[in-house]
A and B are shown apart, each in its own frame.
Chain A
Amino acid sequence: MGPGIIEVFLQYWPLFLNGLIGTLKYAFIAVLFGSMLGIVVAIINMSKNKIVSTIGSIYVNVLRGTPLLVQMYIAYFFIPMAVPALSFLSKEQCVILSLILNSSAYVSEIFRSGINAVDKGQTEAARSLGMSASHTMQKIILPQAVKNILPALANEYIAMIKETSLAGTFMLYELMYTRTLLANKFLVWQPLFIIAGIYLVVTMVLSALVRAMEKRLSVSD
């Protein structure tokens, strides 16, 4: 059996802490860049041009309809080969890129519903004033949509915190990777429970924060 969970945690907590920092960092990068890309995908998806919107929906369906782990393997092995322009990316960066792409597909759907939820009268008012379509989207619709979808984006971040655990498979130093590090020291079962506990605490705390944010947002309406 070896040492207990608490002993292992007390001895190796800096490893877990660094792992957690890696997890939060990768999840943040994925959602931040995923959001930027996601806005573009959402707008492509909502295009009146059938060909353009079909490309958008294929993108979303492929990324949402296949496992992230598979996407990571493909990114890890094939992105530098298949896309020469991206060959400067390290293996690690390819895995992060797959996180970003995956997140962008989910975020684009969040944005799409957020944009659709903004009253149509807002677009009509802006366009009737002579505001261009792109200014209307940037200055009138998106600011209102973002406010509506902040809780959903935060939930995407929480989901992404769990998804990044797959990145440990590719030697990215995040929380799950500490299991590999400690397995080398013949500590097999203790780290798993410590890792699970840390994920649980972090996601519960963040979920509580999201609920508080939702409450505040609904008050300001």
Chain B
Amino acid sequence: MTDEMKLIIEVVDLQKNFGDLKVLKGINEKIYKGEVVSIIGPSGGGKSTFLRCLNMLEIPDGGHVYFEGEELDANSTDLDQHRQKIGMVFQLFNVFPHLTVLDNITITPILEKKIPKEQAEKEAMELLETVGLSDKAKEYPRKLSGGQKQRLAIVRAMAMHPDVMLFDEPTSALDPEMVKGVLEVIQNLAESGMTCVIVTHEMGFARKISDRVLFIDDGIIAESGTPEELFDHPKNPRTQEFLSQVL
């Protein structure tokens, strides 16, 4: 971590409860520009909730989230502006079924960034090209496989030119043969310099592409480090136990 690295996301003492259940119990974390950070850990440990707090899809009960130096506030009108720079990819794709593949990508840039339609469509076609979906532009999502839907969801987020991409278990709902194609797209993104935060169960993938890995368990970051540190020499007994079960 050098001083020149630009801080993109800073999380301070983040807490979140669902009713009486404390899901996040005070998380502190800094994510820098260009970093690829994977989040692993047992189900119910708070990984997804943490990720969803980074763009205020979950509203924290305590602590602060700073995006590019500004505090995110769920009640502020600036939130939409910030969210345009925080792309998110969901486990269940959440593509818009009533819009064509092309319109899925262009609708938000046209509506919210006032990009002219032709320009938005040209750019969307280029993005579709990069994920091998340009021949599906006029189709509706129901004609796509799960893997294709997820690749569409990724370029839909990319069309907003985000500064960071959040991935919430992007391959968990996919048939095994679809996983590779989606991971390749994410890897290409990561290698192009996009800042990525990835909640994943794909340990091999996390190890391969991450600069850092966070192990979140029981609402805290129980351990963090480089993939080598975390996967080869885990210090925390809970990390060791978790890895022994999944590897």
Looking at chain B, what size class is its interface with the partner chain?
20 to 34
B88 on interface, CB distance cutoff 8 Å: yes
Partner of B86, one of A119, A125, A128, A144: A128
Instruction: Say whether A124 faces chain B, with CB atoms less than 8 Å apart.
Output: yes
For the complex, what is the distance from the CA of A139 to the CA of B106, rounded to whole Å? Answer: 12
Mask of B141-172 contacts with A, CB within 8 angstroms, 1/0: 01000000000010011001000000000000
A221 cross-chain contacts in B, Cβ below 8 A:
142
The answer, yes or no, to whether A113 is at the interface (CB within 8 Å) is: no
Please measure, in the bound complex, the distance between the C-alpha atom of A135 and the C-alpha atom of B55, giving whole angstroms: 18
| Contact (Cβ within 8 A) B98 A129 | no
Query: Given the known A-B contacts A124-B57, A125-B153, A139-B107, are A130 and B83 also in contact in the complex, defined by CB atoms under 8 Å?
Result: yes
Q: How far is the CB of A167 from chain B (nearest CB, A)?
A: 37
Q: Does A63 lie at the interface of the complex (its beta carbon under 8 Å from any beta carbon of B)? A: no
Say yes or no: is A127 at the interface (Cβ < 8 Å to chain B). yes
CA distance A139 to B98 in the complex (A): 10
- CB of B160 within 8 A of CB of A129, answer yes
Which residues of chain B are near A122, meaning CB under 8 Å?
Answer: 94, 96
**Given A119-B94, A127-B83, A144-B97, A132-B112 contact (CB < 8 Å):** yes
With contacts A124-B57, A135-B112, A139-B107 known, is A129 near B84, CB below 8 A?
yes
B112 contacts A130, C-beta separation under 8 Å: yes
Give the size range of A's interface with the partner.
Answer: 10 to 19
What A residues does B160 contact at CB under 8 A?
A: 129-130
Within 8 Å by CB of B112, from A124, A131, A143, lies A131
Contact of A128 among B81, B88, B112 (CB under 8 A): B88
Question: What DSSP secondary structure best describes chain A's contact surface?
Answer: helix
B98–A144 CB distance below 8 A? yes
Q: Contacts A129-B108, A131-B111 given: A124-B94 contact, CB under 8 Å?
A: yes
Q: Mark contacts of B78-98 with chain A using CB atoms, 8 A cut-off: 1 yes-contact digit, 0 otherwise.
A: 001111111110101011111
A129 near B57 (CB under 8 angstroms)?
Answer: no
Distance of A131 Cα from B160 Cα, bound (Å)? 11
Q: Kindly state whether residue A185 has any CB partner on chain B within 8 Å.
A: no
Taking CB as reference atom, which chain A residue is nearest B56? A127
Chain A residue numbers with a CB within 8 Å of B55 are: 128
Residues of B contacting A144 in the complex (Cβ-Cβ under 8 angstroms): 97-98
Report yes or no: A139 in contact with B86, Cβ–Cβ below 8 A: no
CB < 8 Å neighbour of B108 from A119, A130, A143, A147:
A130
- Which parts of A112-127 form the interface with B (CB within 8 Å)? 119, 121-122, 124-127
Note all chain B residues with C-beta closer than 8 A to A121.
Answer: 90, 92, 94
Does A46 interact with chain B (Cβ within 8 Å)? no
Q: CB-nearest residue of chain B relative to A142?
A: B98
The residue in chain B whose Cβ has the minimal distance to the Cβ of A221 is: B142
A140 within 8 A of B: yes
Q: Name the residue of chain A whose CB is nearest to the CB of B109.
A: A129
The residues of B that contact A130 with a CB separation of less than 8 Å are 80-85, 108, 112, 160
Interface centre among A122, A130, A132 (most CB of B within 10 A): A130
Quote the shortest CB–CB distance from B137 to chain A (angstroms): 19
A130's nearest neighbour on chain B, judged by CB, is B84
Smallest beta-carbon distance B92→chain A, Å: 6
Interface positions of B from 59 to 104, Cβ below 8 Å from A: 80-88, 90, 92, 94-98
Whole-angstrom distance from the CB of B108 to the nearest CB of chain A? 4
B103 — nearest CB in chain A belongs to which residue? A139
Smallest CB separation, A127 vs chain B (Å): 7
CB < 8 Å neighbour of B98 from A124, A127, A143: A143
Chain B positions within 8 Å of A140 at CB level: 96
Residues from chain A with a CB closer than 8 A to the CB of B107 are 131, 139
Q: CA–CA, A126 to B87, complex, Å?
A: 11
Taking CB as reference atom, which chain A residue is nearest B91? A121
Chain A residues within an 8 Å CB radius of B57? 124, 127-128
Q: In the complex, what residues of A have CB within 8 A of residue B111's CB?
A: 131-132, 135, 139
Cα A130 to Cα B83 in complex, Å, equals: 5
B94 & A131 in contact (Cβ 8 Å cutoff): no
**The 10 residue pairs across chains A and B that have the minimum distance between CB atoms:** A130-B84, A125-B94, A121-B94, A128-B88, A130-B83, A129-B108, A130-B80, A143-B98, A135-B111, A131-B108
